[in-house]
């Protein structure tokens, strides 16, 4: 006996029991151990941070990252799955700052670096338990008992080895560059971090009058960052563009680009000044004519600093980066605050004037001392003054502000704390990835990106425009940069291991000291150049380097596990969201190329972001964020996993909609579960146990052979698609099969299961359905692991004691090609198409399926045999089905012109075309269209040729007939009903109502009943004529007329009032 199956939709409760079973029996570990001799299939898990809570997007990533390894395990591979935790970096520091009530680096250092570091280490585990519970609920299998942890000393030592290798190749260097810089965090950011934090801002720009030296004229120059103007040391024009000197309507003489003069100076005209010119051209130049032309300093502070540096400034530079798309064609140059500015400044040996401090405030020597360059709203609320409006006021007061137009643009913000970034010149450490750009591009071509467009486009474009990786951070909680620098001569040294540090420092405790600040900072090395002391530089490294190092650092390579690493690198598969394109995907790829000159991974599925049901980005502030725990508790893991697999391509944004999740649950999971429940119900009634029988192929019916053919085609499709990372296609194959198994095979075979005794036909039906259920459960197990486990435990483990303990310890089903019959599938597909069209025709005629119809005609490319014709008759409740080559006796077509396409082409002749089409023979015209692809005719001496797309085509019906057409098939129903057909329809309605009442009364399937029927004499006469048929179908021992039994209910059957009662006997 199989365990009774409840048909409720309480999947969540059942999933919790399965999760407990997996934990208790250690099924995940067994799934890896039992495949230990299989070929290695390495999966890398991108490490989340355990000091943040999971969100709904993590359900998607964990669903994908769990499913592919499960599938590969069932295919016989060894699939190690080591979980990891990303534990360093600013997010942790910010959390601790908040917890301790600290604000910024100064207060951290007052509190003490050592206690702060200890708090950081404690903080990273804040939500560890939540993440582990979440992963278990989702069904994400990974080794969480032995995870890799990025703050672990062994992990850090492997990173030191990697940095040392990069150093030895001459690719790790210290440089003074303009870098993206967060004034709140006091540290630079890498370009891939910047890419994650853009926000749309609407700000004032400035068009400024710069007084030309020794001339009563001005250069009109534009800037989007007014706060940088106190640091101005030059102006830049495009050497190849035309510039003009003009006398403007405001009385001033200006220099600006010819292409932008109308746009800029046109603002000087009033609305009433029609016909008046905004300016008069005095002279014309090309950009190079203006090179070195001088102007007066805008602010004295910049002139003073220039003098200190003994540099020349305040003249015109030339560079092609200046465009004619915005502004005036002349841009202000401040080399301390822009990459292009710095590059141009170096070309002209310009001074570096930096009138902003490391906290984003203007320096005391400016007129705007202490004002913030880019204050946040919080800082403004706390009294901070924004420099931009004050600079604009000052310029306006001095008569130097020409205009301050508003501009909407994307501006980078710190991806961790949300502060607007500054482009700020400072000393930083860089990895020279530009040196290995060609290797990065070549290695990327070896990766299978899903979708391909990300690899070639977003990621490929990123690599084409790669910049050196700003690796250092002026922070505390991170992997210390392994560079020691001489206090005296500046000599630098890279240390590659704890042992090397112990040897160089002469202090053996270096081998056991924690590799974090401040502990590691105490070790001194004697400079090999001058004999003075060397100390470690203060910086820690970008935490993205940590996550990119996980392939080797998780194994403490090369200090341990050398052979194991070589087996596990590169990964066969990784997957994360699209925002990791310039995050983890890049750091993995860059480090693998720098160290091993090969890709870090062979296959990657890039996942779209999860949005709300309206396609909006989820956020707590908007109130549209979905709590993943609530969603999992409401819908269950299988339902959400299935939704993410099948709703859309994984790389597209997913709209998380509860109704859509429930629809998938009902359509696929519910259908599979109900089919399984149907099997168990009747198997238990009959005492059927699959262990006592075998599938005898020579004794199967056509329906059985069809289902087994479809089953093997389904398994083949799922296997091929998952093997090629085509997830929605695999889901569609499973969905289609389960639908056809339930709504076609089971429905067509029900009477075989209801038959008395245990004849061979019934055994074949049971064994066919059993085989299909077990096999499809195994094929679907990687995708919906909980339900399939439940089905397997009941159908297999109860009957076969020696079967694997879990479905996830089974092999993925093998395809039996001998059972695939393509002709059989094609014939049955045509039958299904005919049935679908027949039902549509019934709906069009408003005739229920329980009302028999006398005649149906079918026009199709091929006819089907009597077996299939009988199915059509039975499904559509039609007495006779005739295949014919011509249905024009019952149908015709009407044609109208498509006005959108034909109106512009034929204009005034469209009315004549419409009249001509109305007079056509519908069938003959349709034949011509099908044969020639078009129809040709002449109206008003104009030759006309129309294809199907030019026409609105409608099928016309002959009275008494209804037709439907699709897939090259036309179905025609004769809707004329005889009295005999109407009476038969009434009987079928009575049977349906009695069956409904049986179910509503809670009767068991095999309970026998007594039926009472109250209605007029004619109705009673009709029922009496079909009493035997009704009784056999509803298991009625007796039908009584004119009196009521228990549970009586009045029904409207075909317009007649009938009272029916049912009573168990």
Q: What is the set of active-site residues?
A: 47, 86, 544, 580, 584, 617, 620
Name the nearest CA neighbour of 848 among 740, 986, 998, 1030: 986
How distant, in Å, are the alpha carbons of 43, 47, 442, 447, 603 from that of 574?
Answer: 6, 12, 19, 11, 7
Length reported for the chain = 1065
Which residue do the tokens 């029922």 mark? 1023
CA distance 490 to 545: 26
Are 655 and 81 in contact by the 8 Å Cβ rule? The answer is no
Q: Say how far apart CA 188 and CA 473 lie, in whole Å.
A: 6
10 Å CB burial of residue 1041 (0-12, 13-18, 19+) is middle
User: From the CB of residue 393, how many other CB atoms can be counted at a distance below 10 Å?
Assistant: 12
Report the distance separating Cα 366 and Cα 352, nearest Å.
15
Q: Using omega within 30 degrees of 0 as the cis cutoff, is the peptide bond preceding 518 cis? A: yes
DSSP at 468? -
Q: How many helices (H) and strands (E) does the chain have?
A: 40, 40
Position of tokens 């389960």?
A: 738
User: Strand pairing partners for 880?
Assistant: 855
Which pair of structure tokens corresponds to residue 694? 């075998």
Residue 368 and residue 199: Cα distance in Å, rounded? 26
Instruction: Tell me how far apart the alpha carbons of residues 946 and 936 are, in angstroms, rounded to a whole number.
Output: 7
Q: How far is CA 477 from CA 50, 124, 348, 948, in A?
A: 15, 11, 40, 69
- CA proximity to 159, closest of 442, 399, 480: 480
What torsion, rounded to 10 degrees, do the Cα atoms 742, 747, 749, 751 define?
140
What's the CA gap between 818 and 667, in Å, rounded? Answer: 30
Sheet of strand 448-450, all strands in order from the earlier edge strand to the far edge: 448-450, 601-607, 571-577
List own/partner pairs for 211-215 with CB under 8 A and 24 or more apart: 211/295, 211/296, 211/400, 212/255, 212/293, 212/294, 212/295, 212/296, 213/293, 213/294, 213/295, 213/296, 213/314, 214/294, 215/253
Q: Return d(Cα 593, Cα 165) in angstroms, integer.
A: 12
Q: With residue 858 as reference, give the H or E element that holds it.
A: strand 853-859
Terminus-to-terminus CA distance in the chain, angstroms? 26
Contact of 856 with 969, CB cutoff 8 Å: no
State residue 715 phi and psi, 5-degree precision.
-60, -40
Q: Are 794 and 689 within 8 A, CB to CB?
A: no
Residue carrying the six token digits 């501009």: 407
Phi/psi zone of residue 383: left (φ > 0), alpha (ψ -120 to 50 degrees), beta?
A: left
Alpha-helical (H) ranges within 647-726 are 658-664, 671-686, 702-723
Under 8 Å between Cβ of 173 and 412: no
């Amino acid at each position: 006996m199989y365990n009774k199956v409840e048909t409720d939709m309480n999947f969540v409760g059942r999933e919790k029991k399965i999760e407990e079973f997996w934990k208790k029996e250690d099924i995940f570990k067994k799934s890896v151990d039992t495949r230990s001799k299989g070929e290695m299939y390495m999966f890398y898990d991108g490490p989340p941070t355990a000091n943040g809570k999971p969100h709904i997007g993590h359900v998607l990533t964990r669903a994908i990252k769990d499913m592919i390894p499960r599938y590969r395990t069932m295919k016989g591979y060894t699939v190690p799955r080591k979980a990891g935790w990303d534990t360093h970096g600013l997010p942790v520091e910010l959390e601790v700052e908040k917890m301790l009530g600290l604000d910024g680096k100064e207060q951290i250092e007052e509190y003490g670096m050592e206690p702060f570091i200890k708090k950081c280490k404690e903080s990273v585990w804040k939500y560890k338990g939540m993440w582990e519970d979440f992963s278990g609920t989702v069904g994400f299998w990974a080794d969480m008992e032995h995870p890799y942890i990025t703050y672990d000393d062994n992990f850090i030592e492997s990173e030191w080895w990697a940095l040392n290798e990069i150093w030895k190749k001459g690719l790790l260097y210290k440089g003074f560059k303009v870098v993206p810089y967060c004034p709140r965090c006091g540290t630079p950011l890498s370009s891939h971090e910047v890419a994650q934090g853009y926000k749309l801002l609407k700000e004032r720009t400035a068009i400024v009058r710069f007084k030309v030296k020794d001339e009563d004229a001005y250069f009109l120059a534009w800037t989007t960052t007014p706060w940088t103007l106190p640091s101005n040391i030059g102006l830049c024009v495009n050497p190849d563009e035309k510039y003009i000197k003009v006398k403007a309507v405001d009385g001033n003489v200006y220099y600006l680009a010819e292409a932008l003069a109308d746009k800029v100076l046109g603002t000087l005209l009033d609305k009433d000044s029609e016909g008046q010119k905004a300016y008069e051209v005095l002279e014309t130049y090309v950009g190079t004519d203006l090179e070195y032309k001088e102007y007066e300093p805008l602010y004295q502070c910049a002139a003073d600093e220039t003098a200190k540096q003994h540099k020349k400034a305040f003249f015109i530079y030339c560079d092609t980066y200046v465009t004619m798309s915005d502004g005036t064609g002349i841009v202000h140059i401040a080399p301390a605050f822009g990459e292009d500015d710095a590059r141009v400044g170096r070309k002209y040996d310009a001074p570096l004037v930096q009138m902003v401090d490391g906290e984003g405030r203007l320096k005391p020597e400016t007129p705007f001392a202490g004002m913030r360059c880019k204050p946040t709203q919080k800082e403004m609320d706390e009294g901070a003054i924004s420099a931009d409006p004050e600079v604009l006021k000052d310029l306006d007061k001095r008569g130097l502000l020409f205009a301050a137009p508003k501009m909407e643009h994307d501006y980078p913000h710190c991806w961790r704390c949300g502060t607007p970034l500054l482009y700020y010149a400072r000393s930083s450490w860089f990895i020279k990835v530009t040196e290995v750009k060609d290797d990065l591009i070549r290695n990327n071509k070896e990766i299978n990106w899903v979708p391909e467009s990300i690899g070639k486009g977003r990621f490929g474009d990123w690599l084409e425009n790669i910049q050196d990786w700003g690796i250092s951070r002026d922070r505390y909680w991170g992997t210390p940069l392994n560079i020691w620098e001489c206090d005296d001569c500046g000599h630098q040294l890279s240390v590659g291991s704890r042992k090397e540090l112990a040897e160089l420092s002469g202090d053996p405790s270096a081998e056991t000291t924690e590799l974090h600040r401040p502990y590691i900072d105490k070790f001194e090395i004697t400079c090999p150049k001058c004999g003075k002391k060397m100390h470690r530089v203060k910086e820690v490294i970008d935490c993205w380097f940590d996550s990119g190092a996980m392939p080797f650092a998780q194994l403490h390579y090369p200090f341990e596990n050398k052979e194991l690493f070589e087996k596990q690198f590169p990964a066969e598969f990784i997957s994360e969201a699209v925002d990791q394109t310039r995050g983890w995907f890049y750091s993995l790829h860059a480090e693998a190329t720098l160290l091993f000159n090969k890709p870090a991974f062979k296959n990657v599925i890039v996942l779209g972001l999860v949005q709300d049901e309206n396609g909006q980005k989820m956020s707590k502030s908007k109130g549209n964020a979905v709590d993943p725990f609530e969603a999992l508790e409401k819908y269950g893991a299988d339902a959400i996993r299935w939704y993410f697999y099948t709703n859309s391509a994984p790389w597209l944004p997913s709209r998380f909609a509860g109704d859509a999740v429930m629809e998938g649950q009902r359509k696929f999971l519910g259908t599979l579960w109900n089919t399984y429940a149907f099997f168990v119900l009747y198997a238990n009634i009959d005492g059927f146990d699959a262990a006592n029988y075998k599938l005898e192929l020579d004794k199967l019916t056509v329906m059985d052979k069809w289902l087994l053919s479809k089953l093997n085609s389904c398994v083949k499709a799922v296997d091929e698609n998952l093997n090629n990372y085509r997830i929605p296609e695999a889901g569609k194959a499973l969905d289609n099969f389960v639908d056809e198994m339930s709504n076609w095979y089971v429905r067509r075979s029900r009477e075989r299961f209801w038959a008395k005794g245990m004849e061979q036909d019934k055994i074949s039906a049971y064994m066919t359905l059993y085989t299909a259920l077990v096999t499809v459960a195994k094929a679907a197990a990687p995708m919906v692991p909980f339900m399939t486990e439940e089905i397997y435990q009941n159908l297999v483990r109860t009957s076969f004691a020696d079967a694997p303990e879990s479905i996830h310890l089974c092999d993925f089903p093998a395809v039996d090609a001998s059972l695939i019959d393509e002709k059989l599938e094609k014939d049955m597909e045509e039958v299904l198409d005919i049935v679908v069209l027949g039902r549509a025709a019934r709906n069009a005629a408003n005739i229920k399926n329980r009302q028999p119809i006398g005649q149906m005609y079918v026009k199709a490319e091929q006819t089907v045999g009597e077996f299939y014709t009988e199915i059509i008759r039975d499904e559509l409740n039609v007495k006779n089905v005739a295949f014919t080559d011509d249905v024009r006796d019952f149908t015709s077509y009407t044609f109208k012109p498509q006005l959108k396409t034909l109106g512009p082409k034929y204009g005034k002749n469209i009315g004549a075309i419409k009249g001509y089409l109305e007079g056509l023979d519908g069938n003959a015209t349709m034949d011509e269209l099908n044969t020639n692809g078009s129809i040709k005719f002449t109206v008003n001496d104009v030759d006309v040729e129309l294809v199907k797309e030019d026409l609105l085509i409608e099928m016309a019906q002959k009275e008494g007939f209804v037709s439907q057409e699709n897939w090259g098939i036309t179905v025609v129903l004769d809707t004329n009903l005889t009295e005999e057909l109407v009476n038969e329809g009434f009987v079928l309605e009575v049977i349906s109502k009695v069956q409904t009442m049986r179910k509503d009364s809670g009767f068991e399937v095999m309970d026998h009943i007594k039926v009472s029927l109250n209605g007029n004499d004619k109705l009673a006469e009709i029922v009496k004529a079909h009493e035997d048929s009704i009784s056999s179908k509803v298991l009625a021992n007796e039908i009584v007329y004119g009196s009521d039994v228990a549970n009586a209910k009045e029904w409207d059957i075909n317009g007649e009032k009938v009272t029916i009662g049912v009573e168990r006997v």
